[in-house]
Amino acid sequence: MNNQQAILGRLQKMQLVVKTRKRGLHKGSRQSSHFGSSLEFSDFRAYQPGDDIRQIDWNVYGRTQKHYIKRYLDEQELAIAIYLDATSSMRAITSKWEFSKQLAAFLSYIVLASEDRLFFSPVASKNLQAVRRKGAVSSRRTYLEILSLTENEQTGEFITSLQNTVTKNQQLTILITDGLEELDKVEALLKKLSSLKQEIWLFQVLSSEEILPTYMGDLKLIDSESNIAVNVSINPIIISDYEKRLKEHNRGLERLCRRYGGHYIPVVDDSNLQSILFHELPSRGLIR
């Protein structure tokens, strides 16, 4: 618990870095490149007809006999959506599901602690509800709620479910999924998000067993989403072919993210989450 508190204490001082193409509609804690009426002073400029005379700095006038007004940086909040893959396939491997929930919980905590607006959705879940929250007062409660998410129902596909629920008024969309669906479906989703002028981060979370399988011999494999069983005989040749196809698929994901201006972030469920949050993402310019 003390370690958790220490991590949250560090995250409370951090922000997600978004090169947004849209301005937020509400006040927040971020300095916008636009000028407004916050208390964060920027500089002076010469008075022009139509300016508010209450903004004239009379101390400067006393020294220069010229009228100057103060300019302030406007503070704008960001609207950030985090979509957590809650499909049966994502939950089939406990370590992958728990890691993904922790990642979603920590990122949601940062969003709210930064006074940004959060939309969090456990995609494809039949029992779990999406949440819309704003403000640091909700940060810890949201963090704990995401960690405690449970879903036992069989679900459909991540992208199919998300296509119908994706929200429009976001500056940043974060996808946390294993990314194992067909690339043409992934492209259609990224294209849609890009057309909405949303920045995209795609976290591909895989288990170490999915990356380097250790299974050998005759097995019955059951699709966690369709529940269809297939009898297979696993040998080193099949494993090698699987690993090759997975690498090609992941390279395809990375290319698609680049094509649509997004960030592709592959992680393994046995990775050190603190290292990702405090080193990898800051080094990539995604968190500061």
Mean pLDDT on 27-55:
58
Mean pLDDT on 234-239:
85
Nearest to 115 by CA among 64, 165, 80: 80
Residue 107 belongs to some domain of the structure: yes
Q: Does the pLDDT of residue 132 top 70, yes or no? A: yes
CB atoms within 10 A of CB 67: 15
Q: Which residues of 186-213 are buried (b: 16+ CB within 10 A; e: fewer)?
A: bbebbeebbeeebbbbbbbbbbeebeee
**Res 152: pLDDT:** 85
Q: Are residues 109 and 145 in the same domain?
A: yes
Residue 16 belongs to some domain of the structure: no
Q: What is the pLDDT of residues 202-235, one digit of tens each?
A: 999 999 999 988 776 665 555 555 566 666 677 8
Q: Are residues 49 and 88 in the same domain?
A: no
State which of 21, 55, 76 marks the end of a domain: 76
Spatial strand order of the sheet with 27-36 comes to 27-36, 68-76, 40-46
Q: For all residues of the chain together, what is the average pLDDT?
A: 85
**Res 189: pLDDT:** 96
Say how far apart CA 164 and CA 71 lie, in whole Å. Answer: 43
Model confidence at 31, in pLDDT bands (50, 70, 90)?
very low
- Count of the separate structural domains present in the chain: 2
Say how far apart CA 78 and CA 23 lie, in whole Å. Answer: 8
Residue 27 belongs to some domain of the structure: no
Q: Are 153 and 220 in contact (CB under 8 A)?
A: no
Who has greater pLDDT, 47 or 110? Answer: 110
Q: Are residues 112 and 246 in the same domain?
A: yes
**Res 275: pLDDT:** 96
For helices 94-113 and 139-147, angle between their N-to-C axes, nearest 10 degrees: 170
Say how far apart CA 71 and CA 53 lie, in whole Å. Answer: 13
Q: What is the pLDDT of residues 47-93, one digit of tens each?
A: 777 667 777 888 888 888 888 776 554 456 789 999 999 999 899 99
Q: Does the pLDDT of residue 126 top 90, yes or no? A: no
Q: Domain limits at 67? A: 32-76
pTM of the predicted structure, to 2 decimals: 0.80
Q: What is the pLDDT of residues 180-192, one digit of tens each?
A: 999 999 999 999 9
Q: Are residues 155 and 43 in the same domain?
A: no
Q: Are residues 189 and 51 in the same domain?
A: no
CATH number of the domain encompassing residue 90: 3.40.50.410
Q: Are residues 101 and 54 in the same domain?
A: no
